[in-house]
Amino acid sequence: MKMQLSEIARALNIEGSEDWDNITITSISFDSRELTKGALFVPLMGQQDGHDYVSSAIANGASAVLWQADHENEPHEVPALKVNDTLDALQSLSRYYLQKINPKVVAVTGSNGKTTTKDMIAAVLATQFNVKKTFANFNNEIGVPMTILSMEPNTEILVVEMGMDRFGQIDQLSHLAQPDVAVITMIGEAHIEFFGSRDKIADAKMEIVNGLKEDGILIYNGDEPLLVKRAQDISQETFTFGNEATDDLQSVNVVSDATKSSFRVTMWPDANFTIPMIGAYNVKNALAALSVGKYFHIDVNEMAQALEKFDITKNRTEWRDGLGGYRILSDVYNSNPTAAKEVLRAFSEVSTTGKRVAVLGDMLELGKDEQAMHASLADAIDPEKISAVYLCGPLMQSLADKLTEKFMPTQIHQYSPDQKAKLATDLKAMLGKDDLVLLKASHGIHLEEVLADIAKTE
């Protein structure tokens, strides 16, 4: 971004000084440690009060700051733009900047796969347009406006990811971004503790259409009855993807190996598609990206080339080299039963001359049925294909109990969350060349610490 401070003041209905015309803001930051010269620092109110770090931000090069009016001792070293609420001001500024740049907006949500789908969509669209996408998982009421404000002036399409942990959150983000295209990947059990049922999760995900432009389009997983039912009630155009003949974009002939999945699409029978990821669930994410590409009239061959080499956000079914010659499938960012079963089944089919080992951590925020949901993972763990299971966290006791029906006790290993160092040590002692190991857990279990201990340094 690049705006004069006086323009930012006008956007926020603040009376500015004449010399603000001479101050150019080139970035926005809410982290005083990670800003550059020319930044506008936004002190947010959370577990910590960002105003406590304004002096640090100024010392690190901030050219101006927002300042919440209920705070005293505003700084005088740089201009301080006084607002009633700094988060509201950040969001208001992003609305202004979005209207100024005026890109087409593609919004992506779903219980699983939204980050990977966002990456795929951005890669497909970048074959023809200047594209900006959500960085990492900046997908909430702070991350979405930050994504918008990070756009370059020549941005033609903004691909923005939208996450949620409560009702109304997607509604707010949808109205903020006002998408031309809304994408829903799937409905799972993520955050079901707060929503109560998959039906309620579907209701919350459908909030993405609340800000969808009247001439926009909803692209969604047509294999999910909960979405099919709800999509019938919207006025905008709809388009489905999935495995069924009733879907507008249907995949066939899906084949996966250790590093990639290939498939065909009935709409384009002469085209071959390959993604650098395993699992039919990732093929569905690719279908979502192809659906968006079709909407923007991207050439089929260009889409295929983009999907074959797109950049994957770290720790989303990412293969890593292990210290002892083994291979690690890292999927440690998040987990819920649907996602865990999908990756377990895909992992079980990866060919190897060694053994397959599953390392699973607790799945959080599942609510009253959490024990049954953990035990249900046993359905996707075949002792003929997986040699040993390492479990981390108290909730995994339910899975351990279920696995005793088909595994020997010596094949099941349990650890508390504070025993991750021992877990890593035990894995390194047991794993050998040509073995495969899967790491899958909710982020709150921090299996990335185990990953760092058993993987080669990148």
Question: SS3 for 434?
Answer: coil
Please tell me whether 36 is known to bind a ligand. Answer: no
The answer to whether residues 338 and 111 touch, using CB atoms and an 8 Å cutoff, is: yes
Please tell me whether 260 is known to bind a ligand. Answer: no
412: phi then psi, degrees, rounded to nearest 5: -115, 125
Taking 90 as the threshold, does the pLDDT of residue 192 lie above it? Answer: no
CATH of domain 3-86: 3.40.1390.10
**H/E segment holding residue 419:** none
pLDDT tens digits along 74-117: 999 999 999 999 999 999 999 999 999 999 999 999 988 899 99
Measure the CA–CA gap between 178 and 212, rounded to whole angstroms.
5
**What's the pLDDT score for residue 194?**
84
Among 178, 12, 172, 161, smallest CA distance to 80 is for 12
Measure the CA–CA gap between 437 and 447, rounded to whole angstroms.
13
CB atoms within 10 A of CB 394: 12
Taking 90 as the threshold, does the pLDDT of residue 242 lie above it? Answer: yes
Annotated domain spans of the chain: 3-86, 103-308, 318-454
pLDDT tens digits along 363-377: 998 989 999 999 999
319: phi then psi, degrees, rounded to nearest 5: -80, 135
Measure the CA–CA gap between 274 and 304, rounded to whole angstroms.
7
Residue type, 346: A
**What interhelical angle do 114-125 and 300-308 show, nearest 10?**
130
In b/e form, how buried is each residue of 108-128, taking b as 16+ CB within 10 angstroms?
A: bbbbbbbbbbbbbbbbbbbbb
pLDDT tier at 315, thresholds 50, 70, 90? low
For 168, the token pair is 């109304």
Measure the CA–CA gap between 339 and 189, rounded to whole angstroms.
9
For 401, the token pair is 């109990």
CA atoms within 13 A on the CB side of 224: 26
Please tell me whether 282 is known to bind a ligand. Answer: no
Cβ-based neighbours of 31, under 8 Å, separated by 6 or more: none
Q: Which of 33-47, 180-194, 418-432 shows the lowest mean pLDDT across its residues?
A: 180-194
Give DSSP secondary structure letters for 196-232: -SHHHHHHHHGGGGGG--TT-EEEEETT-HHHHHHHT
Fold of 318-454: Protein-Tyrosine Phosphatase; Chain A (3.90.190)
Taking 70 as the threshold, does the pLDDT of residue 406 lie above it? Answer: yes
pLDDT tens digits along 153-172: 999 999 999 999 899 999 99
Residue type, 214: E
**What's the pLDDT score for residue 189?**
84
Please tell me whether 116 is known to bind a ligand. Answer: yes
Measure the CA–CA gap between 347 and 342, rounded to whole angstroms.
9
**H/E segment holding residue 400:** helix 397-403
The answer to whether residues 315 and 332 touch, using CB atoms and an 8 Å cutoff, is: yes
237: phi then psi, degrees, rounded to nearest 5: -65, 150
In three state form, how does the secondary structure of 225-244 look? Answer: HHHHHHHCCCCCEEEEEECC
Angle of CA points 424, 426, 428, to nearest 5°: 70
- The DSSP 8-state label assigned to residue 297 in this structure reads T
Residue located via tokens 């699973």 = 360
Please tell me whether 113 is known to bind a ligand. Answer: yes
Residue located via tokens 């295929």 = 304
What is the CATH class of 103-308?
alpha beta
Please tell me whether 115 is known to bind a ligand. Answer: yes
Among 85, 98, 86, 83, smallest CA distance to 3 is for 98
pLDDT tens digits along 338-352: 889 999 999 999 999
**What's the pLDDT score for residue 458?**
67
Measure the CA–CA gap between 92 and 176, rounded to whole angstroms.
9
